[in-house]
Chains A and B, each alone.
Chain A
Amino acid sequence: MTQVANQPARVIETRAKRARFTQALTPYGFVTPVTALIMVLMVIPIAIVIGYSTLDNVIMTPESEFVGLQNYVKILSDGTFYIAARNSLVFTVFSVLVHFVLGLAFATLLNTRLLSPFVKAIFRSLFILPWLFTVAIIAVLWRMLLNPNGIINYFLISSGIVDVGVEWLSSRSTALLAVTFINIWAGYPFFMVSLLAGLQGIPRDLYEAATVDGATALQQFWYVTLPQLKPIIISMMILDMIWTSQQFALIWLTTGGGPINATEMLPTYTYKLAFSTYEFGLASAAAVIVLLLSMVLAFFYVRHQKARD
């Protein structure tokens, strides 16, 4: 009798245990797809590259030797690496700052009440145009415009500003400036669209209150608009810094890192190591250094996002 009476209780207990176990596993089941994707797409490739960076003649020979940090020492004692790092810094900082200024200026213009919606729609289409082109198109377009016989030099010469055509992309004194300008042109719409969304989300009553307090337009911009946009601005700037510092295609297609090494950037430097000299170990070491630098920026981005939350 006792046995019979105990059986349902044990069954119930077993079921309850199973349910608790299933419940405990459920969250892991949900995160498995994302975890697997992150492993396959990020963790494993990054781990392989880090592994490669400690090997000599990796990929090019069937048996590579472990060389520890030797590849890192080689990269960090190469003068061209520092030139590439300096150029990347100048290119990134100028691009991001001007992206911000231009993006904010155009977003403010598009947010004004002084223009009709139709006119604003036309301007919006025009301003966003550079963002619609692929990097290859942008590179070809600007190579033609900045050609010594191109239309920009034609206007400069015919208006008497210069006597002879400027070799914008072929001169060491102007090449970095030229590629930075092209990158600014290609990237400001990203800032513009994001800031425009931010501007449209600022409550009107804040401006009305500021007007009642006697604030001028400039003061309203400084004390109302900018503080309201601050979270978006910081996020955009950090993201743009990460993306711009990794710009490869535009530099490669316009100057190839030249003339000499006037526009050599960390991505072009790494690419040449990999696909020109087939030094995949050195290229991996350079890539890991770039990864670490990007992680510093990513750290600030994540910290900022956490602070917002």
Chain B
Amino acid sequence: MKKLPVGARGRLAFLSSIAVLFAAAGCAPAAESGETTTESSDSSSEQVVLEFAQWWAPELPEGSFRTLMDEFEAENPGITVELLSGPYSTTKEQVVAGAASGTMSDVVGLDGAWVSDFVKQGSLANLSSLMDSSSYDQAQLASQIQIDGSTYMIPVINFIYPLYTNDDILSAAGIDAPPTDRTEFAAAAAAVSGGGVSGWALPLSLEAPNGIQNDVMSWVWASGGSMLKDGQPDVTNDEVRTAVEYLKGIWDAGAIAPGSFTMKEQDKLEEFTNGRAAMIVSSLSHINLIRESNPELNFSISALPSVDGYSGKRGIPYASWGIGVAENSEHKEEAWKLVSFLMSESTNEKLSSIANAFPGNTTAVPDFVQGDELFGKAFEIYQSGFPANEFVGLPVAEQLMRLFDEQFQLYLEGDITVDEMLTAAQAAWVAQF
């Protein structure tokens, strides 16, 4: 290799150092979050670019969410929406990182389980103030997630979790209708179990412990029970105790599909779709997925069974696509315009129709309710009960589920008694509060 003269080597070394400095400058953020969202348009008017981080677009038919954003942009010249779309878990990590560094997108898709922590962190804007300043009619909102009397998240659409039953498997066991109370459910689960079929699938994966919310605590809420008292943990009460003892009974009867301890929501759905589980509690949004995956499957949906003889309103577990505005946003007014657009009757109706969910606007009626028997039935369940999800708004909600899950697994394995399980779960929850 030809040796460079000393002067040339010096220049090369200097240039490489300068290149690194330039590279570092290029890697550095151009400006703070707020500054990047404002650009000058050719027509010399200010163009506001709103960043909207969410996991919704990938879960909807391709391009449908972008179409809604195009409608918003047409209605609001001067505002452009930049969608930052990713899977749920990625969005969560992105929002957590943004909240930590003060670079959260202007508008963010939220899960109710995250709200408490973000509010504590001061990263979400107070929507009550934004609603007041724009004289927004709050009566049209089905629900709001509030902390200390102020709204920080608005559920845009809601997915309820009804009981799915495989009609063919049940009728082969001599059961003509979906179970309505706990005794009927346990009897049905035991009757159909055997020969490669299980009565019920119970996902308890610690990676995604939302099975505790949707498949365990939902039994408590369906009978009007609660896991909280004055906003504090109360899992040692009789309602929770009878529910977990009841589920242990089904477990001991061998009526629960194997693999529960690492089963996730999609595994549960697969067990049901393939006819290996006769009953599951699952999101309404899965109806079409089940139909596409197994068009031959004959199934129906119903409300989650309650304790025998219960005649009150049933709590229906639900999950929401919630929305919030970042405290660090420099365009809160424009961000609120986007939120109110999504919550308007016509947009909310369209969004809930394409997502097969129930609207967050009280006056919106999704079109699938009239055109499909199962969705019509789901709407009946929704209207006859009340949305119940006590994890929404709790601090470190996912960790609370995981802590309960660990104790519940020990209880199902027979390592601890129900009292030990609930006492340990209560102590673990109180520590988190």
Q: Which residues of A contact B (CB under 8 A)?
A: 19, 22-23, 25-30, 32-33, 36-37, 40, 59-62, 143, 147-149, 165, 167, 169-172, 175, 252-261, 272, 275-278, 280
Q: Is there a chain A Cβ closer than 8 Å to B386's Cβ?
A: no
Contact in complex: A256, B206 (CB < 8 Å): yes
**Smallest CB gap from A33: residue in B:** B20
Contact in complex: A22, B10 (CB < 8 Å): yes
Contact in complex: A170, B17 (CB < 8 Å): no
CB distance from A59 to the nearest CB of B (A): 4
Contact in complex: B409, A260 (CB < 8 Å): yes
Q: Is there a chain A Cβ closer than 8 Å to B410's Cβ?
A: yes
CB distance from A196 to the nearest CB of B (A): 32
Contact in complex: B259, A60 (CB < 8 Å): no
Binds A, one of B115-123, B214-222, B279-287: B115-123
CB distance from B150 to the nearest CB of A (A): 19
Q: Besides the contacts A148-B259, A258-B205, A258-B405, what 18 more A-B pairs have beta carbons closer than 8 Å?
A: A22-B10, A25-B10, A29-B17, A30-B12, A33-B20, A37-B20, A148-B258, A165-B258, A169-B259, A171-B261, A175-B262, A252-B207, A254-B262, A258-B204, A258-B207, A260-B409, A276-B398, A278-B117
The 22 sampled A-B contact pairs (Cβ below 8 Å) are: A19-B6, A22-B10, A25-B10, A27-B13, A30-B12, A32-B17, A33-B16, A33-B20, A40-B27, A148-B258, A149-B271, A165-B258, A170-B258, A170-B262, A255-B207, A256-B206, A258-B204, A259-B206, A260-B261, A261-B406, A276-B396, A278-B396
Q: Give which listed residue, A40, A149, A272, contacts B196 with CB less than 8 A.
A: A149
A136–B371 Cα distance when bound, in Å, is 39
A276–B96 Cα distance when bound, in Å, is 11
A257–B206 Cα distance when bound, in Å, is 7
Contact in complex: B96, A61 (CB < 8 Å): no
A143–B206 Cα distance when bound, in Å, is 15
Question: Using Cβ atoms and an 8 Å threshold, which residues of chain A touch B427?
Answer: none
CB distance from A247 to the nearest CB of B (A): 15
Question: Using Cβ atoms and an 8 Å threshold, which residues of chain B touch A143?
Answer: 262, 267
A102–B325 Cα distance when bound, in Å, is 54
Contact in complex: A255, B13 (CB < 8 Å): no
Question: Using Cβ atoms and an 8 Å threshold, which residues of chain B touch A29?
Answer: 10, 12-14, 16-17
Contact in complex: A32, B20 (CB < 8 Å): yes
Q: Interface majority SS on B: helix, strand, loop or mixed? A: helix
**Smallest CB gap from A256: residue in B:** B207
Q: Is there a chain A Cβ closer than 8 Å to B100's Cβ?
A: yes
Interface residues of B in 373-420 (CB under 8 A from A): 396, 398-399, 402, 405-406, 409-410, 413
Contact in complex: A170, B20 (CB < 8 Å): no
Contact in complex: B20, A276 (CB < 8 Å): no
A32–B12 Cα distance when bound, in Å, is 12
Contact in complex: A33, B7 (CB < 8 Å): no
Question: Using Cβ atoms and an 8 Å threshold, which residues of chain A touch B271?
Answer: 149
CB distance from B216 to the nearest CB of A (A): 15
A170-B261, A254-B262, A259-B409 known; A22+B206 contact, CB < 8 A: no
**Smallest CB gap from B14: residue in A:** A29
Contact in complex: A255, B10 (CB < 8 Å): no
Q: Is there a chain A Cβ closer than 8 Å to B313's Cβ?
A: no
**Smallest CB gap from B27: residue in A:** A40
Question: Using Cβ atoms and an 8 Å threshold, which residues of chain B touch A259?
Answer: 206, 261-262, 409
A79–B104 Cα distance when bound, in Å, is 35
CB distance from A43 to the nearest CB of B (A): 14
Question: Using Cβ atoms and an 8 Å threshold, which residues of chain B touch A260?
Answer: 261, 406, 409-410, 413
Q: Is there a chain A Cβ closer than 8 Å to B93's Cβ?
A: yes
CB distance from A282 to the nearest CB of B (A): 12
A32–B10 Cα distance when bound, in Å, is 12
Q: B27-43, CB under 8 A of A: which get 1 and which 0? A: 10000000000000000
Question: Using Cβ atoms and an 8 Å threshold, which residues of chain B touch A169?
Answer: 259, 262
Question: Using Cβ atoms and an 8 Å threshold, which residues of chain A touch B16?
Answer: 29-30, 32-33
Question: Using Cβ atoms and an 8 Å threshold, which residues of chain B touch A149?
Answer: 196, 258, 271, 276
Question: Using Cβ atoms and an 8 Å threshold, which residues of chain B touch A258?
Answer: 204-207, 261-262, 405-406, 409
Q: Is there a chain A Cβ closer than 8 Å to B260's Cβ?
A: yes
**Smallest CB gap from B274: residue in A:** A149
**Smallest CB gap from A58: residue in B:** B100
Closest 4 CB pairs of A and B: A29-B13, A256-B207, A259-B261, A148-B258
A131–B238 Cα distance when bound, in Å, is 52
Contact in complex: A26, B10 (CB < 8 Å): yes
A169–B203 Cα distance when bound, in Å, is 13
